[in-house]
C-alpha cells in the first residue's frame, strides 16, 4: 500500500509543503517539496510572468495541458536538482492566484542518500531564501489585516491598521481593569 505523509509550514511569509511517499515495497521512500507563491505578493510585472500560459499537447487519449516552467526565476531557485513541478493552485473565479512550484528527490543520485524531514525542510527554506534573493521586493502581509504591502520589513502594519489595533487594545485593557 502506498502511504503518504505531508508537512506544511510557512517561512518568511511563504507557505511550503513537504511530502513523503512510502510505496510499501521495501524500497527507499520518496520525498518532494513545494513552495506556494501568491502572485499578489509579487511585484506586479513579475506576477504576470509567473502565471504561465498553458501549452496543450495532443495525445491519443486526448489533450494534456503543461507549462514551460524552466524560466527565470524558477530555473535559478535552489530546488533540489532543479524545478520539476509547476501548477496553478488557485486563481480562478477571482481568487488570488497562487502557484505551486516544486522538486523531487527521486533522481539517480538520490538512491544512495538517506533523507529525512529536517533535511528537506532546511532545503525548502534555502529555496525560499533563493526566491528572496532573486526577487528582493516580495511584498509582506500587514500583521493586522493581512493585505500585502510593498515593504521589505517583516511584520509591517498599515498606519490605519495601527490606529485600529491601538483602539482595540485600549478597549480591551479598559474591560480588563
DSSP assignment letter at 31:
E
Residue closer to Zn ion (CB basis): 88 or 158: 158
Distance of closest approach, residue 96 Cβ to Zn ion, in angstroms = 16
Least gap, CB of 143 to Zn ion (angstroms) = 8
* Residue 154: CB minimum distance to Zn ion, A: 14
Interface positions, 122-151, toward Zn ion (CB under 5 A):
142, 144-145
The secondary structure of residue 76, as a DSSP letter, is G
> Residue 134 and residue 151: Cα distance in Å, rounded?
16
Angstrom distance (rounded) from CA 158 to CA 144: 8
Geometric angle at alpha carbon 11, from 126 and 111, rounded to 5°: 45
Kindly state the smallest distance separating residue 12's Cβ from Zn ion, in Å: 19
Kindly tell me which of 87 and 165 has the beta carbon lying closer to Zn ion: 165
Q: Of the two residues 5 and 163, which places its CB atom closer to Zn ion in the complex?
A: 163
User: Which residues fall within 8 angstroms of residue 98, CB to CB, at 6 or more apart?
Assistant: 36, 37, 38, 39, 88, 89, 90, 91
Would you say 19 or 161 has its CB closer to Zn ion?
161
DSSP 131: H
Beta carbon of residue 105, minimum distance to Zn ion (angstroms, whole number): 39
Residue among 13 and 84 whose Cβ is closer to Zn ion: 13
Contact string 152-171 vs Zn ion (x = CB under 5 A): ------x--x----------
Tell me how far CA of residue 40 lies from CA of 51, 73, 95, 149, 150, in angstroms. 11, 16, 10, 10, 10
Summarize as ranges the residues that interact with Zn ion (CB under 5 A): 142, 144-145, 158, 161
Amino acid at each position: 500500500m502506498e502511504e503518504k505523509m505531508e508537512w506544511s509550514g510557512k517561512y518568511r511569509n511563504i507557505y511550503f509543503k513537504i511530502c513523503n511517499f512510502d510505496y510499501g515495497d521495501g524500497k527507499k521512500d520518496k520525498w518532494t517539496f513545494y513552495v506556494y507563491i501568491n502572485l499578489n505578493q509579487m511585484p506586479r510585472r513579475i506576477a504576470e510572468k509567473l502565471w504561465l500560459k498553458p501549452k496543450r499537447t495532443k495525445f491519443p487519449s486526448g489533450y494534456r495541458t503543461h507549462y514551460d516552467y524552466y524560466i527565470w526565476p524558477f530555473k535559478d531557485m535552489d530546488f533540489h536538482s532543479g524545478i520539476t513541478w509547476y501548477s496553478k493552485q488557485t486563481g480562478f473565479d477571482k481568487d488570488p492566484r497562487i502557484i505551486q512550484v516544486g522538486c523531487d528527490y527521486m533522481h539517480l543520485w538520490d538512491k544512495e542518500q538517506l533523507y529525512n524531514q529536517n533535511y528537506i525542510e532546511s532545503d525548502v527554506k534555502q529555496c525560499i531564501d533563493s526566491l528572496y534573493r532573486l526577487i528582493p521586493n516580495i511584498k509582506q502581509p500587514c500583521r493586522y489585516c493581512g493585505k500585502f504591502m510593498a515593504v521589505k520589513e517583516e511584520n509591517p502594519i498599515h498606519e490605519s491598521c495601527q490606529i485600529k489595533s491601538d483602539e482595540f487594545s485600549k478597549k480591551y485593557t479598559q474591560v480588563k481593569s
